[in-house]
Structure 1
Amino acid sequence: MRTIGNKIKNLRLQKGLTQEELGERTDLSKGYISQIEREISSPSIETLFSLLEVLGISARDFFDEEALNQKVVYTRDDVTSYADEERGYHVTWLIPESNEKEMEPVLLTLAANSSFKAYEPSGSETFVYVLKGDVTLALGRQLFRAKQGETFYYKASEIHQLRNESATEVKLLVTATDSYL
């Protein structure tokens, strides 16, 4: 069952908005948006309707689970992307609402000499297929390297981070259980 916070986060990502941008458009703080998305706080009805208006969805559509209409094929129109130019990465979520499913497949592009954010230990299992380039996985205190056509598969039981330590761009297919990304 999808939660209100998960739905709001998914809609925000689909619209390409940061938490800060959504907060500015609704006169809410970035921190409060984060608390709603993580189910730490529940929005009032008035606040929820304000969020839905900015996100471009009616309350009826927001609460309709469409459980009987399972989507099987996803197209380019379904993807959501986010680029962090400062940190040098670009993430494309291949399945909308993947953060609400058991697996979360994404395409990850790392610019030369950049890294993806570091993640705290979790119960996630992670699969990384290197589509282009060479990549380094920092898993706890160990470093692992994989090149084009090779794969990482690991339990995320330690702090972990994907890094591009080369002078060329890296492209990865990453699939994780739980909420890795």
Structure 2
Amino acid sequence: MIADVGQKIKNLRKEKGLTLKELSDDTSFSVGFLSQLERGLTTIAIDSLEKIAKSLNVELAYFIQEDRKKDKTVVIRSYEKEVSQVTSNQFIHYDLCGNKDLSMMPRLIEILPSKAKEQIKSYPHCGEEFLYVLEGILTLHIGGQSYDLFPGDSAHYQSTIDHNWCNNTNRIVKIITVHSTKKDT
């Protein structure tokens, strides 16, 4: 994975016409470090990778997401679980299904604590959702109401209702979600 991240950085840097020196000036990382990183000879912390992502004008997920082919896997072992998406550097999504042609999308989502209380924007979309809290306290905003959900609690609702969820605690929250992926007919 280290070599993959380094190669993605190198490809993107060259695509944008930047030299190692220009990337170094923008990120405060040495040219030597960036060179080693691009060649897969060193590792990088997520917060440092985020700095490079900002400099190259991409989301952090660009470097973490795997270029996976659509497969028809029925069973995904715990050790095969891969990060599928990182959103706002706070939500880490793991796909729990190998077959993207099915109508449900199960995911494990880890929600990191937020540094500051932020305004939560609720939104609707087609389909329906089910969520189950594994760890921590999840705050669910739905239809103008808020609910604190604890481990073992669940919710099932039409996604067409304004909704969102967040972590208002100082501990990680882990949930399983299942979204229908086909549009309502």
User: In which range does the TM-score fall when normalised by the shorter chain?
Assistant: 0.5 to 0.7
1:159 and 2:162 correspond: yes
Alpha-carbon offset, residue 126 of structure 1: 0.8
What is aligned with 2:148?
Answer: 145
Over the matched positions of the two proteins, sequence identity in percent amounts to: 20
Residue aligning to 2:74: 72
Letter matched to residue 134 of structure 1 = I
Q: Which amino acid aligns with 1:89?
A: F
In the alignment of these two chains, the number of paired residues is 124
Which residue, out of 121, 125, 130, partners 1:127?
A: 130
Aligned equivalent of 1:112 = 113
Letter in 1 for 2:172: E
Q: Could you tell me how far apart the structure 2 residues matched to 1:112 and 1:78 are?
A: 26
Which residue of the other structure, out of 151, 168, 173, is the alignment partner of 2:171?
Answer: 168
**1:162 counterpart letter in structure 2:** W
In the alignment, the residues of structure 2 paired with residue 92 and residue 86 of structure 1 have an alpha-carbon distance, to the nearest angstrom, of 15
Relative contact order higher in (CA < 8 Å, ≥ 6 apart): 1
Q: Which runs of 5+ in 2 are unaligned?
A: 16-66
Q: Which has the larger radius of gyration?
A: 2
Distance 1:163 1:56, change over 3 A: closer
Shift of 1:179: 6.3
Backbone CA RMSD of aligned residues: 3.8
> Which of 95, 98, 117 is equivalent to 2:97?
95
Shift of 1:177: 0.7
Taking structure 2 as the reference length, the TM-score comes to: 0.52
Question: What amino acid maps onto 2:91 in structure 1?
Answer: Y
In 1, are the aligned partners of 2:73 and 2:99 still within 8 Å (CA)? no
